[in-house]
């Protein structure tokens, strides 16, 4: 019997395998329990919530809380729901993802192959910036942005996210390009390719896995950000996380737990959907060299 027709040996359920699956199941239930509670609570009426059955399924499911959270929930004196914050977050996330990925790819490409004078010092300074707490740099950035007229504006919050993402984006792309065969770059140089031609025609087309990794990290980080959005975005551009905080912590009227849960789920839908859709690419990008030194 050849290898192609040989049957695979049945798996043995020893104590180690049972322990691993028991741990994974317990961990999954631990992390899914809050999500389950949020979903079922958002589908209940307030009378049913007051009955105190936290884990029970809704007797009469309704989407009224979702509609209220999206378009009617009050954030202070404004009662427009979290929809305004959603579109503000989209306006912040799109440039705050595209610009850092492009600049980080160019930085990583230059530091991997062209190695300009002082490249190691520049890379060291970028990495040093990754370990400086965000809170330490808030006040200096407020002063700098205010002096150039960008404080409390959409370009200002985008610029802040670009600055804080540069160390990680540069590290990701530098390690990715360093793992590629250097012969490809040398062959392109022999064929007369310059800096930008090699980057756009050779390096960037081979960077799809790491671009997906960088996009997932950047979209998730910017979308979930609260502190930077609260400080730098201004009243007209507050992201969805700040709107969510205002909805949940409002002190006027009745505290609607079903609306709060629906608003929380709406705020987390974009990162969750991103991971569900592109999780396979994320794992492939990590395996392709995203964390190789």
Task: Write the CB contacts of 266 (distance below 8 Å, at least 6 apart in sequence).
Answer: 66, 69, 70, 82, 86, 240
On the question of pLDDT at 289 being above 70, the answer is no
Residue-level pLDDT at 249? 83
Contact predicate 75/134, CB 8 Å: no
Helices of type H across 43-153: 46-50, 64-71, 83-109, 119-130, 134-147
Question: How far, in Å, are 161, 163, 168, 211 from residue 100 at the CA level?
Answer: 8, 8, 10, 11
Cα 244 to Cα 247: distance, rounded to the nearest angstrom: 5
Residue-level pLDDT at 33? 93
Count of CB atoms within 10 A of residue 268's CB? 17
- Dump pLDDT digits (tens) for 68-98: 999 988 876 778 889 999 999 999 999 999 9
Residue-level pLDDT at 251? 59
List domains and CATH numbers for the chain. 15-62 (no CATH), 83-290 (1.10.3720.10)
pLDDT band (50, 70, 90) for residue 62 = very high
Count of CB atoms within 10 A of residue 108's CB? 25
Residue-level pLDDT at 37? 93
On the question of pLDDT at 158 being above 70, the answer is yes
**pTM of the complete model:** 0.84
- Dump pLDDT digits (tens) for 220-256: 999 999 999 999 998 889 999 999 998 888 756 678 8
Measured in whole angstroms, the distance separating CA 243 from the mean position of its chain's CA atoms is 18
Residue-level pLDDT at 293? 43
Return phi, psi of residue 142, to 5°. Answer: -60, -45
Tokens of 119: 């490249």
């Amino acid at each position: 019997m050849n290898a192609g027709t040989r049957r695979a040996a049945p798996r043995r359920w020893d104590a180690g395998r049972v322990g691993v699956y028991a741990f994974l199941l317990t961990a999954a239930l631990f992390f899914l329990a809050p999500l389950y509670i949020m979903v079922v609570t958002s589908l209940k009426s307030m009378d049913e919530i007051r009955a105190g059955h936290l884990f029970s399924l809704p007797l009469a499911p309704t989407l009224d809380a979702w509609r209220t959270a999206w378009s009617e929930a009050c954030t202070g004196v404004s009662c427009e729901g979290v929809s305004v914050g959603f579109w503000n977050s989209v306006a912040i996330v799109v440039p705050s993802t595209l610009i850092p990925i492009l600049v980080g790819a160019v930085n990583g490409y230059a530091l991997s192959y062209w190695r300009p004078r002082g490249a190691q010092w520049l890379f060291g300074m970028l990495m040093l910036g990754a370990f400086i707490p965000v809170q330490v740099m808030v006040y200096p950035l407020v002063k700098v942005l205010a002096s150039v007229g960008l404080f409390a504006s959409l370009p200002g919050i985008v610029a802040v996210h670009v600055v804080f993402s540069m160390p990680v984006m540069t590290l990701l792309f530098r390690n990715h390009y360093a793992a590629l065969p250097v012969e490809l770059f040398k062959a392109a140089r022999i064929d007369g390719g310059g800096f930008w031609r090699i980057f756009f025609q050779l390096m960037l087309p081979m960077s799809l896995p790491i671009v997906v990794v960088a996009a997932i990290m950047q979209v998730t980080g910017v979308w979930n950000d609260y502190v930077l959005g609260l400080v730098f975005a201004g009243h007209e551009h507050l992201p969805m996380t700040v709107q969510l905080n205002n909805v949940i912590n409002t002190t006027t009227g009745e505290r609607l737990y079903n609306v709060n849960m629906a608003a929380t789920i709406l705020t987390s839908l974009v990162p969750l959907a991103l991971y569900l859709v592109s999780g396979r690419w994320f794992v492939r990008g990590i395996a392709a060299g995203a964390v190789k030194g």
